[in-house]
Every structure is written in C-alpha cells, then in structure tokens.
C-alpha cells in the first residue's frame, strides 16, 4: 500500500506544570486526513493482500460515525476497490444524507447495506457472511474496526526505535487491534495501557488472541458511560486541551484516553519521572457528527 501522504509520524512533547512526568504524543493522526492514524496501519496489509488475491471489492462493518467506515471508503476510492459498508441501524437508511460520516463514505463510492442491531450482532456468523456473498458476490472481508492478524501486523509498525525510552505506552481501545500491535512491538520494560471506549471488560480475551506479551493493562474507568457516550466535562477537557497544546482530540477515543491519563497523573498513578508516550489514533472525522448531536441537544460543541 503506497504512502498516502506520510507514513512516518513525530512525537509532540507536552509541557506539564507541577509534575516530573514527561508526556509525548505520537501524531498518527497526521498520516492522512481521511485514512488517519491506526486506520492506515490496519488497512495497509489488508489492502495489499486484497490486491495480491485480485479481489475487487472490500466489505466491512460499522456504525453511524465509524472512523473505520470512512477510512475504508476513501481507501477504496484511492486504490481502485468497490466498497460495501454494512451499517448498524436500519433507521439510518432514511437519514444517511444527514450523517457526515455516511455522506463522506457515499461520496467515495461506498454502497451501504443497513441492518437492524439484532442482525448486526450476527456479523461474524458464517450464515450471515454467506448471505452477503449471495447478495454482493465475492468480496474481501475486513472485520468491524479493521482488527485481524494483518491489521495487528500493521499496528506493530507504530512504535519506532527511539520510542524505547518511554516507560508507558498509552492508546485508546476499540476492537483491540492497535493495542495488540503495540504490545507485540514494545520492549519488555514498557507497560502498555489501553483505555477502552466501550463499557465492560470483555476485550481482554480479544487482545490475548493477538498479543504475544503480558506487559499490558486495560484502564476501564474512562468510557463516560459507554461507546459514543459523551458528558460536558469531556467536551470541556477536549476544548481546553486543543487550546493549550493545539492538538485536536475526538470525543469517542482519544479524548477519553487523554482525560484518563491526566486524571491518573493527578491521582498519582504514575511514578515520578515516568516517561509516557500517547498514541494519537486519529478519528477526527467523527467530530462533525457528534457536534450535530450536541447542537440538537443545545450543548457546548467541540471546537474544530
């Protein structure tokens, strides 16, 4: 998969008052505006595999504001694939043109299949996959969120040689692919901390399928009520962070992670003089859709 703009990133150091802890953010979000951060990493080897196998169509799954759906749609346009998005929520069929993520994906040529939440829960069942093949013909299947062995392989490239100086590597967690790649490429002295965007502790087993070390932990206290749930203090934090460091955060993943990291620093979780590397996984395209929801509820918006 050829580089879209720049498949190398840089670490941006933050100035934190009243602490000896050092933080740097790896700006994976700057790889590309549409195939951003971990989505580029996850798709890289999958797209190469699809090309090698001469498959012309990519099919994947996602919700209304899915970064993955947007990234696959653009990657299909960029690399000459047809794309199909199986979208959670039949009600979105009539609202797709009001949804920024789906509008973008459609503009990239993605075809949609809207299914009920009940049907969507069967997305990994062979019977459902076979029914999709009967409807759409042959396709290259990319799981929800993009996580599979090739995606984990791509995420192993996130850490670079000079990142070995960090004591902690922190990332947001959706389906577990990114953190698995980080675990596999980390040094044994490093601790990998994952901040799940979803409520619950069920991701442990998913990560163990791919991870080859045990130097990791999930911090499950900063989901703000569950996937896609947002509270005013999170919006305030994201806007303050953007103002202080000129780094935008999304409210689904990176905003919750950084909120958690700053809170843990205040609580004394990290030893003095710790060096923390935070992975910015992108996802900024979702801000527009979240702001639409906030606007309808007459709540403060995320500053872009």
Residues 190-234 have pLDDT tens digits of: 999 999 998 877 799 999 999 999 999 999 999 998 888 889 999
CA dist., res. 88 & res. 113, Å (int): 9
Query: What integer pLDDT is reported at residue 297 of this predicted model?
Result: 92
Of the candidates 82, 112, 118, the residue with the CA atom closest to the CA atom of residue 97? 112
Query: What integer pLDDT is reported at residue 64 of this predicted model?
Result: 87
pLDDT grade for 96, boundaries at 50, 70 and 90: confident
What percentage of residues in the chain have a pLDDT greater than 70? 97
CA dist., res. 231 & res. 297, Å (int): 12
Please give the distance of CA 131 from its chain centroid, rounded to a whole number: 28
Of the candidates 35, 86, 34, 83, the residue with the CA atom closest to the CA atom of residue 55? 83
Count of beta carbons in the 10 Å neighbourhood of residue 88: 19
pTM of the model: 0.94
3-state secondary structure of 82: strand
Query: What integer pLDDT is reported at residue 226 of this predicted model?
Result: 84
């Amino acid at each position: 998969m050829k580089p879209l703009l720049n498949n190398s990133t840089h670490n941006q150091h933050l100035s934190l008052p009243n602490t000896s802890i050092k933080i740097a953010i790896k700006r994976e979000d700057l790889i590309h505006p549409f195939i951003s951060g971990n989505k580029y990493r996850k798709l890289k080897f999958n797209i190469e595999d699809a090309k090698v196998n001469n498959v012309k169509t990519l099919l994947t799954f996602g919700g209304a504001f899915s970064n993955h759906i947007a990234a696959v749609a653009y990657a299909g346009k960029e690399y000459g694939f047809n794309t199909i998005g199986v979208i959670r929520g039949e009600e979105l069929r009539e609202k797709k043109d009001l949804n920024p993520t789906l509008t973008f994906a459609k503009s990239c040529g993605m075809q949609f299949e809207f299914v009920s939440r009940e049907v969507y829960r069967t997305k990994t069942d062979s019977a459902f996959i076979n029914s999709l093949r009967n409807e759409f013909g042959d396709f290259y299947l990319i799981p929800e969120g993009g996580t599979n062995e090739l995606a984990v392989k791509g995420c192993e490239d996130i850490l670079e040689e000079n990142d070995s100086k960090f004591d902690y590597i922190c990332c947001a967690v959706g389906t577990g692919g990114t953190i698995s790649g980080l675990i596999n490429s980390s040094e044994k002295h490093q601790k990998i901390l994952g901040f799940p965007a979803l409520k619950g502790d069920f991701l442990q087993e998913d990560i163990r399928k791919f991870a080859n070390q045990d130097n990791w932990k999930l911090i499950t206290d900063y989901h703000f009520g569950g996937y896609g749930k947002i509270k005013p203090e999170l919006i305030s934090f994201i806007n303050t962070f953007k103002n202080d460091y000129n780094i935008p955060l999304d409210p689904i993943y990176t905003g919750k992670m950084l909120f958690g990291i700053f809170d843990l620093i205040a609580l004394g979780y990290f030893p003095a003089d710790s060096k923390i590397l935070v992975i910015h996984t992108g996802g900024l395209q979702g801000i527009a859709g979240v702001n639409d929801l906030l606007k309808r509820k007459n709540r403060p918006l995320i500053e872009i």
